[in-house]
Amino acid sequence: MRAIIFGAPGSGKGTYASRLQAKLGINVIVMGDMFRELMKQDTELGKKVKGYVEKGLLVPDDIVIETLKQRLSELPKDNGFIMDGFPRTIEQAKSLQALTSIDVILQLDVPDWIIIERLSSRRVCHNCGTIYNIRFLKPKVEGICDKCGGQLYQRPDDTPEVIAKRLQVYKEQTAPILQHFKEQDIPFVVSTATALETPPEIIVEKIMVELKNLKLI
Residues annotated as catalytic are 13, 88, 122, 155, 166
Kindly list the distances between the CA atom of residue 83 and the CA atoms of 27, 56, 91, 106, 133, in Å, as whole numbers in the listed order.
9, 23, 16, 10, 26
Measured CA distances, 113 to 118, 160, 177 (Å):
9, 9, 23
What are the φ and ψ backbone dihedral angles of 123, each rounded to 5 degrees?
-135, 145
Using CA atoms, how far residue 207 sits from 8, 16, 72, 110, 120, in Å, is 17, 9, 24, 14, 27
Per the CB < 8 A criterion, the answer to whether 189 and 137 are in contact is: no
Q: Tell me, what DSSP letter sits at residue 19?
A: H
User: Which residues have C-beta within 8 Å of that of residue 73, sequence separation ≥ 6?
Assistant: none
